[in-house]
Chain A
């Protein structure tokens, strides 16, 4: 049996909407803000409209049932129902839009902003394009020394970072729940695995206040670690982050 085109379009829209809700609200348990959902659905509706009215024939197929509903005298009963339901729906929709909202405003932010080309910390200027972890070379040259450096980095981590980023480096430390934005999850393949060590050096040493505006520096609870840790300690903790999670930093060489 062929599904009428109009019904097809409606099914597509309902399917996409249901899909968003299923994926975000149910599976990921991250309730999707209604303003964002509305924005997505606007594009989905526009796209569906374009696909379903691609040529005259398909337009005709879509419009025909609507036209019949209005013009065909035999569909009077159906028409009465639709004429009642459609205005009520739009009235309800208007009310929903106009009633005062007590839902907090949505704040979008960039999680991995583009780094500056250079950063000034410890009274020095570091070129982030060429900056490398001075301890990284021991991974091949002197594995024993490297293991010791990682161990020292772990000690720095556990004394300073685990409160927010967690013992498991999963961004779920004991205080994570009280912070917004939430601390970064280093176990996630989308975080340190995609970054260079120089980027981490920039993010750790200058902390939240060192972020560019698009990344809401006023909200980030990441301390300015230049004030607490030495340069060596920062490099060691970076070694630890990669060693513990089993990821490798990205580097210019591999690309």
Chain B
């Protein structure tokens, strides 16, 4: 163990040394003219002709495209007291893009590095930036991640609500402080458990850099600033970076190969409470959600990009646990929610969409609320208002304009929710079979059943067609283990063994003759 740690530490140090020794490179001076040519073909659409972030798509994108005339860049490695970035920083954003935004990585199209340097020169010209700062955040002696370091980081994260004030108790960006960007727009702190939304990356070094230099144009401050009460030493910042890096919810990330919600069979009652310990043993499947931009009315700004599903079933019922991060518990009329949300016009909501009949062939209902020939069941839960408790509803739909509400109690749908530290956990329970076999999906063990999910964030003014959703995936009620495959395997092996013996015997007899 000791040796492993030692080697691990050595490798880490060697890597870090390599990274840091490079420092800000002396960039080849960019050709502004060539940069302009590329800019007008590739960048102008979002960032605008004058570089003010006001291209045709400018006001549809969240976060908005960068306004280059300010010279401020969110992701930079220059120290906190330098307003402007190093050339390398701009080069990196162009090359690698920014995850969680519309900015793609350009290095596969602009293969020639010089082209990207020329763009850097052109972008700098918008703000008349000349010399780069040429200095970097002081990285000191990097602290490799370890249980001790993470524990220290966790303490610093919560001390005096240093980070948790905005990023929340569990780092899900659900702190109650309302944040604004420099242009007055509402901004939300990063959900630190979703590393795929980190604009640079969730490498410890990148996290360290953000903590040290802050994020210009936002309320994310520098924790290297000696004037600040919340200042951290270099070593402390490495601890916090290690802690933040450890927050990634690796069990709730989207894996493209996982397209099936696998319900395990259990004896006795299915868990109907989200806090039932039985859920700890469930198989989790996480799906990506996208805003509903396919039918009228569309929504372009959405707040939640994933939903995690698990399920159990018995002879009679299925219980499904739906989990998603939501910074706001949208209860219209609840005075507590006003502390974080700007307005709460609607309840939060989640829907499970199932076809009314399990398709025999490949044809399924249209993935958004079915179609005239192929209806769907919509099973929904709503968070409730200040005057009414949480509720469930059942509807049948043959397209978004034909959604017919039904009696949920008669259907047998039940739900129970829990909201804690920026996460909704909702258990939905329904009988496997219902009385209305024509109008309701009857769940069958061992069949692949199409399933889709939709989610509404009421505080983001989402209701009706304005929501985020998944495409069709699968629900499988996993059959209990059976002995059949073993028996068949034995029979086949036996027959072949017998056949071979018979062949050998026959051959020997022939030989004797």
Interface residues of A (CB under 8 A from B): 31, 67, 70-71, 73, 79, 83, 86-88, 90-92, 94-95, 98-100, 102-105, 107-108, 154-155, 157-159, 162-163, 166-168, 170, 172-175, 177-180, 208-209, 213, 216-219, 221-223, 227-228, 244
Residue of B nearest to A221 (CB): B294
From A91, A180, A227, give the contact of B489 (CB < 8 A): A91
User: Contact partner of B493 among A67, A87, A107, CB < 8 A?
Assistant: A87
**Highest count of chain B CB atoms <10 Å: which of A175, A179, A217, A218:** A218
Q: Which residues of B contact A70 (CB under 8 A)?
A: 500, 503-504, 507
Are B293 and A175 interface neighbours, CB within 8 A?
yes
For the complex, give the distance between the alpha carbons of A244 and B448 in Å: 42
Query: Given A70-B507, A159-B60, A218-B371, A223–B366 Cβ distance below 8 Å?
Result: no
User: Does B374 lie within 8 Å of A218, measured CB to CB?
Assistant: yes
Q: Are B492 and A100 in contact (CB under 8 A)?
A: no
- Would you call A71 and B497 a contact (CB within 8 A)? no
Given contacts A219-B367, A219-B472, contact A87 B497 (CB under 8 A): yes
Q: Is B254 an interface residue (CB 8 A)?
A: yes
B288-A31 in contact (CB<8A)? no
Q: Contacts of A162 on B, CB cut-off 8 Å?
A: 45, 57, 102
The answer on a CB contact under 8 Å between B496 and A86 is yes
Q: Which of B9-17, B272-280, B480-488 forms contacts with chain A?
A: B480-488
Find out whether the CB atom of B507 lies under 8 angstroms from the CB atom of A87.
no
Neighbouring A residues of B46 by C-beta, 8 Å: 158, 167
Known A-B contacts A70-B507, A98-B488, A213-B363; A104 and B259 likewise in contact (beta carbons under 8 Å) = yes
Contact of B367 among A108, A163, A170, A221 (CB under 8 A): A221
Contacts known (A94-B492, A95-B486); A104 close to B256, Cβ less than 8 A? no
A159–B331 Cα distance when bound, in Å, is 33
Residues of chain A with a CB closer than 8 A to B55's CB: 158
Q: Among B364, B492, B501, point to the contact of A91 (Cβ < 8 A).
A: B492
Expressed in whole angstroms, the minimum distance between the Cβ of B383 and any Cβ of chain A is 24
Contacts known (A102-B478, A104-B260); A94 close to B501, Cβ less than 8 A: no
Contact A219 B293 (CB under 8 A): no
Contact of B101 among A104, A174, A179, A219 (CB under 8 A): A174
Quote the shortest CB–CB distance from A95 to chain B (angstroms).
4
Q: Tell me the complex Cα distance, A228–B296, Å.
A: 8
Known interface pairs A91-B492, A155-B45; A179-B260 also in contact (CB < 8 Å): no
A210 to chain B, nearest CB (A): 12
- A91 and B257 in contact, given A167-B45, A167-B46, A219-B471 (Cβ under 8 angstroms): no
A100 partner residues in chain B, CB cutoff 8 A: 446, 478-479, 482, 485
Interface assignment of B318: CB less than 8 Å from any CB of chain A: no
4 further contact pairs, Cβ within 8 A, besides A154-B56, A168-B106: A70-B504, A100-B482, A168-B109, A208-B294
A93 to chain B, nearest CB (A): 8
Contacts of A180 in B (CB 8 A): 259, 471-472
* Cβ–Cβ contact A221 & B485, under 8 A: no
Q: How many residues of B contact A (CB 8 A)?
A: 69
CA distance A94 to B484 in the complex (A): 11
Give Cα distance in the complex from A241 to B109, angstroms: 15
Q: Mark B49-77, 1 if CB is under 8 A from A, else 0.
A: 00000011100100000000000000000
- Picked from A94, A108, A175, the residue with its CB within 8 Å of the CB of B291 is A175
* The residue from B41, B367, B478, B484 contacting A218, defined by CB atoms under 8 A apart: B367
A168, B488: Cβ atoms closer than 8 Å: no
Q: Beyond A159-B60, A178-B290, A221-B471, is A98–B503 a contact (Cβ under 8 Å)?
A: no
Q: Select one of B45, B101, B106, B490 contacting A158, CB under 8 A.
A: B45
Q: Which residue on B lies nearest to A109, using beta carbons? A: B362
**Contact present for B371 and A71 (CB under 8 Å):** no
User: Do B485 and A99 have beta carbons less than 8 Å apart?
Assistant: yes
Chain B 235-262 interface 0/1 with A at a Cβ cutoff of 8 Å (1 = within): 0000000000000000000101101101
**Residues in B lying within 8 Å of A, measured CB to CB:** 41-42, 45-46, 55-57, 60, 101-104, 106, 108-109, 254, 256-257, 259-260, 262, 287-291, 293-296, 300, 305, 362-367, 371, 374, 446, 448, 470-472, 474, 476, 478-479, 482, 484-486, 488-490, 492-494, 496-497, 500-501, 503-504, 507-508, 510-511
Residues from chain B with a CB closer than 8 A to the CB of A73 are 508, 511
Complex A-B: 6 CB contacts under 8 Å? A95-B486, A99-B485, A168-B109, A174-B102, A180-B472, A218-B364
Q: How far is the CB of B102 from chain A (nearest CB, A)?
A: 6
**Known contacts A83-B500, A155-B45; A227/B493 CB under 8 A:** no
**Assuming the A-B contacts A162-B102, A175-B293, A209-B366, are A104 and B493 also in contact, with contact meaning beta carbons closer than 8 angstroms in the complex?**
no
Q: Which of B106, B363, B501 has the most CB of A within 10 A?
A: B363
- Contacts A71-B511, A218-B366; A177 near B484 (Cβ below 8 A): no
Query: In the docked arrangement, what's the CA distance between A89 and B10, Å?
Result: 46
B290/A219 in contact, CB under 8 A: no
Are B364 and A219 in contact, CB atoms less than 8 angstroms apart?
yes
Could you say which of B104, B305, B374 contacts A167, with CB atoms under 8 Å apart?
B104
- Are the C-beta atoms of A227 and B102 separated by less than 8 Å? no
Please give me the 6 A-B residue pairs with the lowest Cβ-Cβ distance, nearest first. A91-B493, A155-B56, A178-B288, A98-B485, A95-B489, A178-B290
User: Smallest distance from the beta carbon of A113 to chain B beta carbons, Å?
Assistant: 14
- Flag if A223 contacts B293 (CB, 8 Å): yes
* Bound form: Cα–Cα A174–B100 in Å: 7
B290 partner residues in chain A, CB cutoff 8 A: 163, 175, 178-179, 221
How far, in Å, is A168 (CB) from chain B's closest CB?
Answer: 5
Task: Kindly identify which residue among A67, A107, A177 contacts B362, using a CB–CB cutoff of 8 Å.
Answer: A107
Chain A residues whose C-beta falls within 8 Å of the C-beta of B489 in the assembled complex:
91-92, 94-95, 98
Bound: A201/B406 CA distance, A: 40
In whole angstroms, how far apart are the Cα atoms of A95 and B490 in the complex?
9
Q: A91-B490, A104-B259, A166-B104 are in contact. Are A154 and B503 (CB under 8 A)?
A: no
Instruction: Decide yes or no: A90 and B496 within 8 Å by CB, A219-B364, A223-B295 being known contacts.
Output: yes
- Residues A94 and B488 in contact, CB atoms below 8 Å apart: yes
A163 touching B293 by the CB < 8 A rule? yes
Looking across the interface, which residue of chain A has its beta carbon closest to that of B101?
A174
